[in-house]
Amino acid sequence: MKKIIILSSVLALAAAFSVSCSKEYLEVAPESSVSPSTIFSTTEMARTAVNGLAKMMTTQYLGTQGLNGEGTIINWYNNYMGNDAQKCNLTGWTNTINSNWHESPTSTYDIYPWYYYYKIIANANAVVEKIQDAEGPESERQFMQAQGLVFRAYSYLQLVQFYCRRWSDGEVENDGLPLRLDASTGDLAKSSVRKVYAQIYADLDEAIRLFTASGLTRYTAYPNFKEHNFLPDIDVAYAVYARAALTREDWANAAKFAALAREDYPYMSQKEYLESGFNEENSEWIWSVYEAEDQTLYYYSYFAYCGSNSSAGICRSYPFAISKELIDRIPETDTRRSLFLVPTEEEYKEVNKTNGNAKAGTALYKRAKADYAGKLYGTSSIFQYMQFKFQASFMPGGGCFALFRSGEMAFIEAEAACHTGNDAKAREILNEINKAYDPAYDCTKAGDDLLNEVKLYRRFHLWGEGHDWFDFKRWGDTMVRTSIKNGGSWHANFAITVRPDEKNHWTWVIPNREKDYNKLINQMAE
């Protein structure tokens, strides 16, 4: 495919990149010297701008190790901080894993999502505004403007999940974000959470209209590209809409758009689910992040923080593992369990003498080396419950990864069905997905028991894909991590309980750097 590049003066934006902050705060070194007037002079040239938006999702930021676009958001902010996944023995990251940075407005961990998503928004705004004057077919202008709107809607959805209270908290008028919808960089008050969601909906409604009017697909709009899944299209707009509606507890729209999003994306086969490594596009991927060997982030790549076969030290020494509490609730007849090194009762007792680490010579160590040899780096440490779902496609940790897939859409539809009293639909979806991996599965539950079943299997089926912390926040569920000493699988440093009203209601504070340059940030817009 064509190289995905970051734009220079167009989207390096000493102006537009300075959204909500100072020039020094957000400026990045350009990779080319193409002017805005040139890049948006034709729709052919403007393809580079949309391409650049996609590249921003797999780019290192702030000169800091590991801050690598969406990969960081998924791993550090959802998996590592969540209830169901552990980086075994990574005690040096205790403050991150235990969500101790939420109320630290000077911390890089607090700054990064704000910086990253507002940077995408600034670039998306440039595409939305400037593409309208580009020379070329109207259909191409419509398609690319729609893509810019999808990037903007997605970024605001991510921001509202991090920096605002959950919808169920009822703070929809007194909490919010600055809504930057053009290239202006001046002081701007916060719009309410209700208005932020309204803007997300409006952007997606318009994107769907434009995608439809264009008559194009991401394949016909970008005919010279060999890869296309990283480019938004109408199905991506549907998928973002479904996730936004789910987070907003708008059950009717969540069900509607989830069904539309997954319509043309059949579930991956059992073989694909168990063997794919989740590192290459398949029939189920709706939108993904692309990484090629000649554009890799090396040790900062997504799979360098989670891949079972990665040569990166943080994977070799500190494997990624599922929690005992979660996997113990999944029947042994479910083949998805085979992606995790689940110990027998005897093995569990043996390795717990060494804090879950299966030393050479133990039964669990021998079984891991024998059964998962093709999914392990040669010198990797072995821990109970370590995962083999995610594997790098090239070393040390490169590969593509999904942002949205049809399996997630199915669980959104099932959860929405529970909230609208359509238990039959929720059971139908659960049986459809789970019987593919466990022929003995048969859901007959109803009411709250059915909703809890949907939540359980959502956690398991989508494990490690970046939903953990977001889901527990929006559900208002208490995080409970049980230590090995008390019969769980968590290192003692990470064995915490966090209630919904703790940790600032699971809400990141607005960074001080924003407050330094935006004097209206503490005010609400009229």
The verdict on residue 387 lying in a domain is yes
Provide the CA 469 distance to its chain's centre, in angstroms.
10
Instruction: Determine contact, residues 178/122, Cβ cutoff 8 Å.
Output: no
Q: Is 346 exposed, middle or buried (0-12, 13-18, 19+ CB in 10 A)?
A: exposed
Q: Does a cis peptide bond (omega within 30 degrees of 0) precede residue 319?
A: no
The verdict on residue 248 lying in a domain is no
The verdict on residue 258 lying in a domain is no
Give dist(CA 78, CA 91) in Å, integer.
17
The verdict on residue 214 lying in a domain is no
Give dist(CA 189, CA 510) in Å, integer.
13
The 10s digit of each residue's pLDDT in 337-375 is 999 999 999 999 999 999 999 999 999 999 999 999 999
Q: What is the pLDDT of residue 295?
A: 86
Residue partners of 373: CB distance under 8 A and separation at least 6: none
Instruction: Determine contact, residues 172/502, Cβ cutoff 8 Å.
Output: no
The verdict on residue 392 lying in a domain is yes
Q: What is the pLDDT of residue 34?
A: 65
- Among 368, 387, 384, residue whose Cα is nearest residue 308: 387
**Cα-flanking dihedrals φ and ψ of residue 336, to 5°?**
-65, -20
Q: What is the pLDDT of residue 37?
A: 81
Prediction pTM value: 0.95
The verdict on residue 341 lying in a domain is yes
Q: What is the pLDDT of residue 383?
A: 98
The verdict on residue 267 lying in a domain is no
* Other C-beta atoms lying within 10 Å of the C-beta of residue 269: 14
Give dist(CA 251, CA 253) in Å, integer.
6
- Among 276, 252, 247, 225, residue whose Cα is nearest residue 54: 225
Give dist(CA 40, CA 145) in Å, integer.
12
The verdict on residue 318 lying in a domain is yes
Residue partners of 275: CB distance under 8 A and separation at least 6: none
Tens-of-pLDDT digits for all 526 residues of the chain? 333 333 433 343 323 333 333 333 333 333 345 677 889 999 999 999 999 999 999 999 998 889 999 999 999 999 999 999 999 999 999 999 999 999 999 999 999 999 999 999 999 999 999 999 999 999 999 999 999 999 999 999 999 999 999 999 999 999 999 999 998 889 999 999 999 999 999 999 999 999 999 999 999 999 999 999 999 999 999 999 999 999 999 999 999 999 999 999 999 999 999 999 999 999 999 999 999 998 899 999 999 999 999 999 999 999 999 999 999 999 999 999 999 999 999 999 999 999 999 999 999 999 999 999 999 999 999 999 999 999 999 999 999 999 999 999 999 999 999 999 999 999 999 999 999 999 999 999 999 999 999 999 999 999 999 999 999 999 999 999 999 999 999 999 999 999 999 999 999 999 999 999 999 999 999 8
Q: Are strands 176-177 and 85-87 parallel, antiparallel or unpaired?
A: unpaired
* Residues facing residue 288 across a β-bridge: 402
H/E stretch holding 286 reads strand 285-289
- Residue type, position 320, single letter: F
DSSP three-state, residue 80:
coil
The residue range of the domain holding 356 is 295-399
Instruction: Determine contact, residues 417/453, Cβ cutoff 8 Å.
Output: no
Task: Give me the half-sphere count of Cα atoms (radius 13 Å) on the Cβ side of residue 449.
Answer: 4
Where would I find the H helices in 93-192? 94-97, 108-130, 138-163
The 10s digit of each residue's pLDDT in 46-102 is 999 999 999 999 999 998 889 999 999 999 999 999 999 999 999 999 999 999 999
295-327 core/surface letters (b: 16 or more CB in 10 A; e: else): ebbebbbbbbbbbbbbbbebbbebbbbbbbbbb
Q: What is the pLDDT of residue 65?
A: 85
Number of domains making up the chain: 1
Q: What is the pLDDT of residue 25?
A: 30
- Among 426, 424, 411, residue whose Cα is nearest residue 475: 411
